Chains A and B, each alone.
Chain A
Amino acid sequence: MRLRTRPEVPARPAPGTELLTAEAVRLTVGGRELLAGADVRVTAGEVVALLGPNGAGKSTLLSVLAGDLPPTAGEVRLLGRPLAGYRPPELARHRALLPQSAALSFPFPADEVVRMGRAPWSGTAAAAEDDAVVAEAMAATESTAFAGRPFTALSGGERARVALARVLAQRTALLLLDEPTAALDLRHQELVLRVARARAAAGDAVVVVLHDLTLAAAYADRVVLLTGGATVADGPVAEVLRAPLLSEVYGHPVEVLPHPRTGVPLVLPERD
C-alpha cells in the first residue's frame, strides 16, 4: 500500500495538451455490447459534455475512461500511456471521478469525507497543502457550513456538494463528473458547472455527463454525443446541438433556439 519511494507530484499539463484519448472503445459484458465504438479526446483546459439518451453508455464510458473497466477492444490512453499501465495510486493523482450517487458506510463528518480526497497525495510534497485544499474545496461548493456534521445526516443536495468537494480536493488534472447536477436545485446546478468551468480555466480537463442539454450548451466547450454505445457526434456546442440530430438521437422532436440575449442555444422538446 505504501510506496517505498516518495511519489512525484505530476506536473500540470500545458493548456491544449491532449490528456485523455479513447479510440474505438468497445465493451462487452455478459454478451451485451455496452460500448460499440466510442471515441473521446479530452485536452487540458476544456469542459467536455458527454450527452446522450438513457442507456447510451455515458456512465459506462466514464467508467472505462476512469480505468474501472478495461475495454474489450480499443484503447484508452492517459498522457499517451495506456491506462492499464497505471497502478491505482498513480492513477489517483491524475484523475478523479464523481460517482452518480454518493454513499458512505459510516458516519464520517463532512470535512473528513472531503479530506479523503487528499489520500492520493499522502507522502508527497503536495500533502503540505491538505488543509488549505480541503478548506478551498468546501468553500467552492458552499459546504463549509456543515463541515462538522456527519455525512450520513446531510440532505441529498448537501451530500452531492460534499462529494464534489472531495473530488475537487483530489486536485487532479482530469475530472470526470457523472451527472453532478442530478440531486441539485437550480442554484446549485449553476454553482457546480461554474466550478467545472473555473477548473478548466485553471488548466484542468473536465468531462461531465449531463442530461440537461441547455446546461451543457451554456457551460461546455465541446459536446460528445453518444447513442447505442457509439459516438455519433463530437464537436463545438453549436455544431452538435442541432435540432435534426438531437431529434433523431433522443427519438423525440426537439427545437433549438438561440437565447434572446446571449445567443447561447436553448434546447427544448417540441410540445403541443
Chain B
Amino acid sequence: MLSSSTTRSRAALGPALLLLALGLLLTLTACGPSTGSTGAATGTGVTKAPDTVEPLPGEPAPQLPATVASADGRQVTVASADRIVPLNGSLAEIVFSLGLGPKVIARDVSTTFQQAAALPVITQAHDVSAEGVLSMHPTLVLADRSTGPAEAIEQIRAAGVPLIVLDDAKKLGDVGPRIDTVAAALGVPDAGRQLKERTEQRITQARAALPAVDRHPKVAFLYLRGSASVFLLGGPASGAGSLIEAVGGEDAGTAAGLSGDFTPLTSEALVKAAPDAILVMSKGLDSVGGVDGLLKLPGVAQTPAGLDRRVVSIEDGQLLSYGPRTPQVIREIAEQLYPAAAK
C-alpha cells in the first residue's frame, strides 16, 4: 500500500539519521579524553622510576647457529639474530637487557618501555597476526605459551621463521630460566649468565632491604577495569602471589581459597577476605578514578586496606613481566606497602 515515493524518502532518511547518530557519538568520544582527568593518583605519592630497561654494558656478538628447546616440545635452530620480534613486553625486556635492543625490529602493545617506543607495533599479545609479523621479515620470533592464536604461531613457523615458545613466567623462580632460554636462542649465553646473576643479586638486595614486620600483611591483587564492571581478585595462578610473598605479604586470593588466575568476586567476599593492602596495575587504578575512585567501589572502603588507603599501584607492563626489571618492581611494591619504613 505504501507509495514508492514515501518508501524512497524513508530509505534516504534512515542512513542520514544513523550517520548523524554516529557523528554525534564520535564527537562525544573525541572530546572525552581531553576533558577527562588523566592524573594517576597513587596512594602513597612515591615517585616512579622512568619506564626504561637497563641493558648490560656493550652489545654482545651472537654465536649462531644455536639450537634450543621450545616449550612446546620442538627443537628450534636459530641461524641469525639480526631481526628479532619478541611477541610480548616481558620477552622484549629480556632481549633489550641483554644488550640486543638494536636487533629488535617490532614490538607488541605490551612493550611499553622507552627504548622500544620508536618500534612499530605489529600485534597484541592474544591477537597475533601472522602476516603482520612476517611482513617484518624476522629471523627470530619469541613467544610465550599464552601467545595466540595457535594458528598464527603455526603460520609463522610454516613460513620458515624460527619461533621459540617459552613457558609463561608466573613466579620469581622463572626469571633465571627465562633469561637463560632467551640468551641461548640469541646465541649470547655469556651475556645471559651475566644478566641472570645481576638480576638475582638485585632481587636478593631488594628483599634484604625490606623492613622487619611482625605480621605478614594480606595483599589482594585486584584486576580493575572501569567502575561499571565487576572486579576480579587474583588467585594462586594470577602470577602476583610470588611477588607478594617476596615482599613479605600473604596473597589474599589464595588465602580466601580461590583457584585459577582471576575470579569475579562479590563485594562482600572482598570485605570478608579483609586484605590489609590492595595491589593493582596503574592503568586499572586510573580506570576507576585513582585511589579515591577505588574506595568508592562497593566493598573496598570496608576492607582494612580501604580504611588505611593502603593501595599499591605498579605499571601494567612491569608488574607481571618476570624478568630483569623484577627487582625494581619488588622495591616499588615494598616502598608503597611499607610507606613509613621507606621514609
Contact = CB atoms under 8 A, between A and B. Distances in A.
Direct contact of A and B (CB under 8 A): yes
Contacts of A260: none
Contacts of A30: 1-6
Interface string B1-36: 111111000000000000000000000000000000
Nearest to B2: A30
A31 B1 CA distance: 11
Interface string A30-52: 11000000000000000000000
A29 interface: yes
Interface residues of B, number: 6
A168 to B, nearest CB: 30
Nearest to A28: B3
A31 B5 CA distance: 10
7 contacts: A29-B3, A30-B1, A30-B2, A30-B3, A30-B5, A30-B6, A31-B3
Interface string A3-32: 000000000000000000000000001110
A209 B272 CA distance: 76
Contacts of A31: 3
A262 to B, nearest CB: 43
Contacts of A29: 1, 3
A29 B2 CA distance: 8
Interface footprint category on A:
under 10
Interface of B: 1-6
A35 to B, nearest CB: 15
Counting from the closest, the 6 A-B pairs by CB-CB distance are A30-B3, A31-B3, A30-B2, A30-B1, A29-B1, A29-B3
Contacts of B6: 30
A160 B1 CA distance: 26
Contacts of B4: 30
A59 to B, nearest CB: 13
Nearest to A31: B3
B112 to A, nearest CB: 59
Given A30-B1, A30-B5, A30-B6, 6 more contacts: A29-B1, A29-B3, A30-B2, A30-B3, A30-B4, A31-B3
Contacts of B5: 30
Interface string A124-137: 00000000000000
A272 B4 CA distance: 45
A30 B4 CA distance: 7
Nearest to A30: B3
Nearest to B6: A30
Nearest to B5: A30
A29 B1 CA distance: 8
A31 B3 CA distance: 8
Max chain A CB contacts within 10 Å: which of B2, B3, B4? B3
A209 to B, nearest CB: 19
A127 to B, nearest CB: 37
Interface in A205-244: none
A29 B3 CA distance: 8
B8 to A, nearest CB: 12
B36 to A, nearest CB: 44
A120 B2 CA distance: 31
A34 to B, nearest CB: 10
A69 to B, nearest CB: 12
A30 B3 CA distance: 4
A270 to B, nearest CB: 36
A31 B4 CA distance: 10
A31 B2 CA distance: 10
A242 B268 CA distance: 89
A57 to B, nearest CB: 14
A133 B6 CA distance: 44
Nearest to B7: A30
A175 B2 CA distance: 29
Nearest to B4: A30
A258 to B, nearest CB: 43
Interface string A68-83: 0000000000000000
B10 to A, nearest CB: 14
A29 B5 CA distance: 11
Interface in A60-106: none
B173 to A, nearest CB: 68
A124 to B, nearest CB: 36
